[in-house]
Structure 1
Amino acid sequence: MKSTCRLLLLMVYIVSASCVSKKSNLEAADVGQLEEQYEYLYKSIKDVKESPKPMPRTTKNDKLVNVGPYDWTSGFYPGSLWQLYGLTGNDVWKERATAYTEKLDTIQYWEGNHDVGFIIECSYGNGLKYQDSNAYEEVIVQTAKSLSTRFKPNAGVLQSWEWNKKWDCPVIIDNMMNLELLFHATKISGDSTFYDIAVSHADTTIKNHFRDDGSSFHVVDYNPATGEVIQKNTHQGYSDDSAWARGQAWGLYGYVMVYRETKDPKYLRHAEKIANFIKTHPNLPNDQVPYWDYDVSPGENTLRDASAAAITASALLELSTYDTDTSSKDYLKWGNDIIDSLSSKTYLAKVGTNGGFLLKHSVGSKPHGVELDVPLNYADYYYLEALSRQKQISK
C-alpha cells in the first residue's frame, strides 16, 4: 500500500513538474519582478523633472546613463512604461508613461534624423493604444511630416543620416522600423502620401539591402539624384559583408510590420526568408540569443546581443499570427523559446542590479567599443513588447 502511495505521489509530482515547465512565458518572466525592477530604475533616475537628460539608456561602469530627447533611444523608456501598463493594468505605469512621453513633444518638428519614427511611435504611438487623444494623434501626423522631408524621390528611400564625408545618402536597415509611424499617420490623417513613402522605402530596401540568403547589409549609400547604389557597408557590424545581428532583427521586424500594414504577401515572404536565415545559421547558439554578428567566430568570450534576440522574438510572435509558408506554431514556439532564454537567470537581471534595466548582455556598437555587454533600453522595450504579444496570443 505504501509503495502504491509513493508511486501515486511520484506520478503527481511528475505531472506537476511538467505543468510548471510548460507554464506561460508571461508567468515565467514574473511580471511582479519586472515591476520591482522598473520601480528601482524609476527611483534611480536623477532630477527627473529638471534634468535635460531624463531618459535612461544604459549603464557605464555600473552607473546609469541618461540621455536627452534627441537621442535616438529616447522613446524606448516611455514605451516600456506603456508596455508595463498593458501587462499589469497598474495605473502608476500609465501615469509615468504619460509624463515621460510628453517630454518628447518637440521631436515632432525635428527633420534632422530618421529616428523620429522610433522615438515617437514607441512613446506617443503606444500611448494611443490605451487612450483616445487628439493631441497624441496630432503629434504622430506632424512627426510623419517631418520624417517625410527626408524622402529622396529619385532614390525612393528615406535618408538615414547626414554624413556627407563618408556617404551621400546613407540608408541603414534600422530605418525599416521608422515606417510604422508613416503607416500610422495615414490611418489618422487619411493622407496616403505617408503610406506611399513607406512602401517605396520598403520596396527599394528589398531590392538593394538583401543578399540571396536573406541576410542584409547594414548601410546602403545612394546617389540621391539618380538612385544609383554607390556602396554597401557596415557601421556597427563585423565587416561590410557580414550579417550584423541586430540588423537582421530590424529587417525581420520591419517586414512583418509592413505586411501587417499592407497585407501584400511579398513582404510576408520576405520576412520568412529573413527568419529562415536567422534560424538556420550555424552560428546561432542553442539558447537562440545571437552573437553580436552572425559572422564572428563563436567562443566563450564572444559577446551576445540580447537586444537582437528580443527584437527577433517580438517579430516572430507577430509573424506566428499570420498564414505563412511555415507553420505558425513553429514561429510561436521559436519566439517563446527566445523569451524563455531571456527570462532565465543568464539574461534577466535580479531586482536592484543592472542599473534597474531588465536584460543583461546587449551590445551597442562593437566596432566602436561602445556599450559592450551592457543593458540597453531598447532590449527592455522589445522584451516587454514580446511579453505583451504573448499575452494577446494566449487570450
Structure 2
Amino acid sequence: MNKKRKDFNVKKSLWIISVIAIACGACAREGAINLAAETSFIEKRLQGTLVNIPDSTLHIPRSIQKDGKSWRYVSYQDWTSGFWSGELWYAYELSGQPKWKEQAAHFTQELRPLAYEPVIDHDLGFQIFNSFGNAYRLTGVDSYRQVVLAAADSLATLFNPKVGTILSWPRAVPNMEWPQHNTIIDNMINLELLFWASKNGGADSLYHIAVSHAKKTMENHFRDDYTSYHVVVYDKANGKRRKQVTHQGFADISMWARGQSWAIYGYTMVYRETKDPVFLDFAQKVTDVYLDRLPEDLVPYWDFDDPNIPNTPRDASAAAVVASALFELCQYVPAEKGAVYRKKAELMLTSLARHYHTADGNTAILGQVTGHYPNGSEINTSINYGDYYYMEALLRYKNLRK
C-alpha cells in the first residue's frame, strides 16, 4: 500500500470514528437526564409542600385539588400514606442532605400503628414497605425492620389458601360480589413486603404466599395478548374464578395504563426474588405489549383503549412506574433487549422531566396523573405515588450509571 493511500485510509477511519462518536453523543443527549437539576427541582417542591402541612390528623399530602395548588391531605390509614414518607427517604438518598432524613423519620413513625392494627386491605406494602422498608435500608435501625416484619404477618392474614391469593379489599366494593374473594393487579407490588420479610427474619411461609399469589394472578388476570384486567373475583370457598373486570379502566376489555404498569413492575420484582425464568418471560410479555402501544412521548393515556384518544387525560404515574421497572428489568434480559429497555426508560424519564413537571404554585413533582377516571376522582392532577415512582426511577438510573 502506498503512503498516500495509507494516509487516506487512516483519515477515513478517523472520520468514521468521529461520526459514530457524534451519533452516540446525540443518542445520549436524547435520553440524558440532568440528575443535579432534577434533584434540585424535587427538593424545592418537597420543601414547598412541607412548609404548608397543617397541624391536624389529616396532614399527609396525597393529591393536588382542582385549584391546581392546594394539597388534599389524608390520615396515616389512607392507602397512599406511605408514598409521602417514601419520597422523603428518596430525597435523602438523592441529595445526601440530613434534613430529608429527619423529615422522613418523622412521617414514617406516624405509620407505625398500621403494622399492629387489624388489617383493612392489601395496601400495607405501599404503606409500610415504602416508609419503614426504605428507612431500614438507608439507616439499618432494627426497630424499622421489626415494623416491616409485623406488617408482613398482618398482610399474610388476608391470604386464602383455597384461592391461592391475598384478598385485596376485605369489604364491599361495587361489582365485587362481596363477600367473595377479590384480587386486584395492584397487589402484585405488595408481594415485595412478603418476599423481603421472609429473608429478614420472617417466616418461610411468607415467601410461599407471595409465589402462590404471583402464579395465580398470572393464570387468571391476563388476556391472550398479555394485557391485564384490574380485578379478578374468585369463589372464596372453592377458589374458582367467577369474573374478570377492569374496575378503574375504560372497560373490562381495555388496557388500563396503571394496571399494566403494576404488572410490569410486579413480575420484574417477582423474578428478582425467585429467579424463576417463568416470571422473567412473563415480565417481558406484559412489558412488550405496553411499549408497543405507547404514544410518541412514551407517557400513556390513562387507558390505552379510551375511544377519545388523543382528547383524554394522560397518566404520568404509569410512566414513572414503568420507567422504574425497566431500569431493573433491563439487567435481567439478554444484552440487546436490555439495551432497548434501558433506552426506553431513559426516554420516559426525559419526557416526564421536560413535559410533565408541575407548574409554579403546585408543590407536587409530576402533573397529568389520573387516579380513578370512571369515579371522576383525581383526574389530570398530581398524586403522591406518581412522584414516588418518578424519584425511584431517577435513583435507579443514577445507580445504573455508576
Compute the TM-score of the two structures, normalised by the length of structure 1.
0.91
1:124 and 2:124 are equivalent in the alignment: no
1:135 and 2:147 are equivalent in the alignment: no
My pick for the range that moved more, 108-117 or 174-183, is 108-117
1:279 and 2:255 are equivalent in the alignment: no
Equivalent position of 1:258 in the other structure: 270
Query: Offset of 1:330 from its aligned partner?
Result: 0.6
Whether the 8 Å CA contact 1:290–1:306 is kept in 2: the answer is: yes
Query: Offset of 1:163 from its aligned partner?
Result: 3.6
In structure 2, stretches of 5+ residues that fail to align are 1-18
In structure 1, stretches of 5+ residues that fail to align are 1-10
**Given the superposition, is the C-alpha separation of residues 26 and 320 from structure 1 closer, same or farther in structure 2, using an over 3 Å criterion?**
farther
The whole-number CA distance in structure 2 between the counterparts of 1:311 and 1:87 is 18
1:52 and 2:57 are equivalent in the alignment: yes
SS at match of 1:241: coil
1:36 to 20, 32, 44: 44
The whole-number CA distance in structure 1 between the counterparts of 2:78 and 2:223 is 31
Amino acid of the residue matched to residue 252 of structure 2? D
1:383 and 2:390 are equivalent in the alignment: yes
Whether the 8 Å CA contact 1:268–1:324 is kept in 2: the answer is: no
- The 5-angstrom pairing of residues 1-395 of structure 1 reads 18=26, 21=29, 24-27=32-35, 29-47=37-55, 51-62=56-67, 63-110=70-117, 111-164=119-172, 166-167=176-177, 168-281=180-293, 284-324=294-334, 327-344=337-354, 346-350=355-359, 352-354=360-362, 356-395=363-402
**Given the superposition, is the C-alpha separation of residues 23 and 267 from structure 1 closer, same or farther in structure 2, using an over 3 Å criterion?**
closer
Whether the 8 Å CA contact 2:30–2:347 is kept in 1: the answer is: no
Q: After superposition, what is the alpha-carbon deviation per residue over 1:185-233, rounded to whole angstroms, capped at 9, x for unaligned?
A: 1111152110010000000000000111111110100111111001111
Whether the 8 Å CA contact 1:144–1:181 is kept in 2: the answer is: yes
List, as ranges, runs of 4+ consecutive aligned residues in structure 1 with deviation greater than 6 Å: none
Query: Offset of 1:368 from its aligned partner?
Result: 0.4
Query: Offset of 1:164 from its aligned partner?
Result: 4.3
Amino acid of the residue matched to residue 182 of structure 1? L
Compute the TM-score of the two structures, normalised by the length of structure 2.
0.89
The whole-number CA distance in structure 2 between the counterparts of 1:226 and 1:20 is 54
Equivalent position of 1:6 in the other structure: none
Whether the 8 Å CA contact 1:347–1:359 is kept in 2: the answer is: yes
**Given the superposition, is the C-alpha separation of residues 197 and 129 from structure 1 closer, same or farther in structure 2, using an over 3 Å criterion?**
same
**Given the superposition, is the C-alpha separation of residues 316 and 20 from structure 1 closer, same or farther in structure 2, using an over 3 Å criterion?**
closer
Amino acid of the residue matched to residue 64 of structure 2? T
SS at match of 2:309: coil
Whether the 8 Å CA contact 1:29–1:343 is kept in 2: the answer is: no
Number of residue pairs the alignment of both structures matches:
375
Aligned Cα root-mean-square deviation (Å): 2.0
Whether the 8 Å CA contact 2:59–2:75 is kept in 1: the answer is: yes
Query: Offset of 1:327 from its aligned partner?
Result: 1.6
The whole-number CA distance in structure 2 between the counterparts of 1:264 and 1:97 is 35
The whole-number CA distance in structure 1 between the counterparts of 2:185 and 2:111 is 24
Whether the 8 Å CA contact 1:26–1:387 is kept in 2: the answer is: no
The whole-number CA distance in structure 2 between the counterparts of 1:18 and 1:270 is 33
The whole-number CA distance in structure 1 between the counterparts of 2:99 and 2:391 is 17
The whole-number CA distance in structure 2 between the counterparts of 1:155 and 1:40 is 46
Equivalent position of 2:7 in the other structure: none
Amino acid of the residue matched to residue 191 of structure 1? A
Query: Offset of 1:61 from its aligned partner?
Result: 2.4
The percentage of counterpart residues that share the same residue type is: 43
Whether the 8 Å CA contact 2:301–2:309 is kept in 1: the answer is: no
Between structure 1 and structure 2, the one with the greater Rg is 2
The whole-number CA distance in structure 2 between the counterparts of 1:307 and 1:238 is 17
SS at match of 1:226: coil
SS at match of 1:129: helix
**Given the superposition, is the C-alpha separation of residues 139 and 55 from structure 1 closer, same or farther in structure 2, using an over 3 Å criterion?**
same
